[in-house]
């Protein structure tokens, strides 16, 4: 006898307030966090009123059960010189009893469709498995350089003035960031909401004060049961501040085994933490080991809107000729025609409705191009794309390599 099983009906929507506890319960089960600990972080989060909490329900025996969830966080990210509004996808989780049934995949697809309808141009996330998300149209666009070093190997500068930050210091800390922090691709815009979250979320904030002025600060947390001190952000206005804060880190050897720094390779080198040591004897033994990790991923949702945000009203490059991109999204079986033109020496972006002459570009390739993950020519060669050389030159001038990086302070 042949048994026939019918897949349960599924429903995707925003999670109503009365089911937020069930939402939180799935997160706790998936990330091994106890509910009493998680509850204040969930409800007191400054982003709580602004986040979109998505869920997938299954119909079983006439009852509806929430089994898969994710959170969409409204953020702004620098791409080149422009701040791009986007959604950060976080906390993708499925109840353990309902895994490996495609529910997370279905939820991600449906949430992305709705975000597209809401005119969100792009979404980003930190993936647990890049291949899983790549099958849904996401692409890796950033890298993260990481260095772990024993506290005893840091320069032990004996400079006083490092103390725990107090709420009265926050205004000066924010001002220091505005003064010193560059706008680099992958950095999140620090608006008031973002600062509220950072100052609320991170307990370990230290400043260096000299002659009544704050010259630098350090924010950190702990990993691996407290044995690794991870530097989330380290900014200094003077060399005195850099040395004082490094000296403070060096004195943590009684509490932690390693200090972790992360960012771009150039940012790690700027810390000046790998001096030649009189204790180093073996020339073939590395002074330090840097790791280059796959960073954040992105999913283009509305190509025209994203290109408008990045290019509209920019000066047209010398010798610019208008071109049309046919952006092919094989994950949705759709394509989008976008024209990049020029008016009075300024770039203009519009949607083309008719089948005009166009250059075909897969959406995952364009994703890497606009973030500056690699030069357009390199992407085209590696993916064997038939893009005219003149179009590639224009794409490279519009989207130069940018070393995109989502730094630890911007994790969401």
Domain span at residue 19? Answer: 10-118
Residue 309 lies in a domain: yes
Residue 3 lies in a domain: no
pLDDT recorded at residue 360: 95
Residue 255: CB atoms within 10 Å: 11
Residues 295 and 187 sit within 8 Å (Cβ to Cβ) = no
CA 43, CA 251: separation in Å to the nearest integer? 36
- The H or E element containing residue 231 is strand 228-236
pLDDT recorded at residue 5: 43
Is there a single domain that holds both residue 289 and residue 322? Answer: no
Angle at 399 between CA 406 and CA 266, to 5 degrees: 45
Is there a single domain that holds both residue 157 and residue 256? Answer: yes
pLDDT recorded at residue 6: 54
Residue 404 lies in a domain: no
CA 348, CA 397: separation in Å to the nearest integer? 15
Q: Which two tokens stand for residue 206?
A: 């230290």
Residue 409: CB atoms within 10 Å: 21
Report residue 391 CA to chain centroid gap: 29
Q: Which two tokens stand for residue 75?
A: 């953020």
Is there a single domain that holds both residue 154 and residue 223? Answer: yes
CA 409, CA 187: separation in Å to the nearest integer? 9
Place of tokens 């995109």: 404
For residue 233, the domain's CATH number is 3.40.630.30
Is there a single domain that holds both residue 290 and residue 166? Answer: yes
Residue 178 lies in a domain: yes
Could you say which DSSP state residue 188 is in?
B
CA 136, CA 157: separation in Å to the nearest integer? 49
Left (φ > 0), alpha (ψ -120 to 50) or beta: where does 318 sit?
A: beta
Is there a single domain that holds both residue 71 and residue 43? Answer: yes
Report the chain's C-alpha Rg in angstroms. 24
Reading the chain (412 residues) residue by residue, the pLDDT tens digits are 444 445 679 999 999 999 999 999 999 999 999 999 999 999 999 999 999 999 999 998 889 999 999 999 999 999 999 999 999 999 999 999 999 999 999 999 999 999 999 999 999 999 999 999 999 999 999 999 999 999 999 999 999 999 999 999 999 999 999 999 999 999 999 999 999 999 999 999 999 999 999 999 999 999 999 999 999 999 999 999 999 999 999 999 999 999 999 999 999 999 998 766 667 778 888 888 899 999 999 999 999 999 999 999 999 999 899 999 999 999 999 999 999 999 999 999 999 877 678 899 999 999 999 999 999 999 999 999 999 999 999 999 999 999 999 999 999 9
For residue 338, the domain's CATH number is 3.30.1050.10
- In degrees and rounded to multiples of 5, residue 303 shows phi and psi of -65, -45
Residue 364 lies in a domain: yes
Strand-pair category, 82-94 with 122-125: parallel
CA 410, CA 412: separation in Å to the nearest integer? 6
CB-based contacts of 285, cutoff 8 Å, min separation 6: none
Considering 76, 103, 118, which residue would you say is the last residue of a domain?
118
Whole-model pTM: value is 0.93
Residue 128 lies in a domain: no
Report residue 380 CA to chain centroid gap: 24
Is there a single domain that holds both residue 17 and residue 111? Answer: yes
Is there a single domain that holds both residue 324 and residue 352? Answer: yes
Is there a single domain that holds both residue 268 and residue 316? Answer: no
SS3 10: strand
Is there a single domain that holds both residue 160 and residue 241? Answer: yes
CA 231, CA 248: separation in Å to the nearest integer? 12
CA 190, CA 158: separation in Å to the nearest integer? 33
CA 190, CA 187: separation in Å to the nearest integer? 9
Considering 103, 118, 133, which residue would you say is the last residue of a domain?
118
Crossing angle for the helix pair 35-43 and 20-31, to the nearest 10 degrees: 120
pLDDT recorded at residue 276: 62
Residues 320 and 342 sit within 8 Å (Cβ to Cβ) = yes
Please give the tally of structural domains in the chain: 3
CA 340, CA 390: separation in Å to the nearest integer? 14
SS3 35: helix
DSSP string, 282-293: -TTS-S--EEEE
């Amino acid at each position: 006898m042949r048994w026939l099983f019918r897949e349960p009906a599924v429903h995707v929507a925003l999670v109503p307030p009365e089911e937020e506890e069930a939402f939180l319960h799935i997160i706790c089960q998936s990330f091994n966090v106890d509910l009493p600990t998680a509850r204040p972080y969930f409800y007191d989060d400054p982003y709580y009123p602004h986040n979109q909490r998505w869920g997938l329900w299954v119909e079983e025996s006439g009852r509806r059960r929430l089994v898969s969830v994710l959170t969409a966080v409204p953020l702004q990210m620098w791409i080149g010189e422009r701040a791009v509004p986007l959604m950060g996808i976080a906390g993708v989780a499925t109840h353990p009893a309902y895994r490996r049934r495609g529910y997370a995949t279905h939820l991600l697809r449906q949430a992305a469709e709705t975000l597209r309808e809401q005119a969100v141009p792009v979404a980003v996330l930190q993936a647990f498995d890049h291949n899983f998300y790549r099958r849904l149209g996401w692409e890796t666009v950033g890298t993260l350089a990481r260095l772990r070093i024993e506290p005893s190997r840091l320069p032990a500068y004996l400079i006083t003035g490092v103390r725990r930050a107090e709420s009265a210091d926050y205004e000066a800390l924010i001002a220091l960031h505005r003064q010193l922090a560059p706008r680099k691709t992958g950095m999140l815009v620090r608006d008031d909401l973002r600062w509220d979250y950072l100052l609320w979320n991170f307990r370990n904030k230290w400043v260096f004060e000299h002659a009544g002025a704050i010259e630098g600060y350090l924010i950190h947390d702990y990993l691996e049961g407290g044995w690794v001190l991870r530097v989330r952000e380290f900014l200094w206005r003077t060399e005195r501040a850099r040395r004082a804060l490094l000296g403070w880190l060096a004195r943590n050897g009684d509490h932690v085994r390693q200090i972790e720094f992360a960012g771009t390779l150039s940012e790690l080198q700027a810390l000046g933490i790998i001096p030649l040591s009189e204790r180093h004897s073996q020339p073939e033994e590395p002074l330090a080991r840097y790791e280059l990790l796959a960073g954040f991923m992105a999913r283009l949702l509305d190509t025209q809107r994203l290109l408008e945000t990045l290019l509209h009203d920019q000066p047209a490059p010398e010798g610019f000729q208008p071109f049309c991109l046919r952006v092919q999204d094989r994950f949705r079986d759709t394509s989008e025609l976008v024209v990049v033109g020029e008016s009075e020496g300024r770039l203009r972006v519009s949607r083309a409705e008719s089948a005009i002459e166009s250059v075909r570009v897969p959406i995952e390739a364009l994703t890497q191009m606009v973030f500056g993950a690699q030069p357009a020519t390199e992407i085209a060669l590696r993916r064997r794309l038939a893009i005219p050389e003149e179009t590639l030159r224009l794409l490279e001038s519009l989207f130069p390599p940018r070393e995109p990086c989502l730094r630890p302070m911007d994790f969401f």
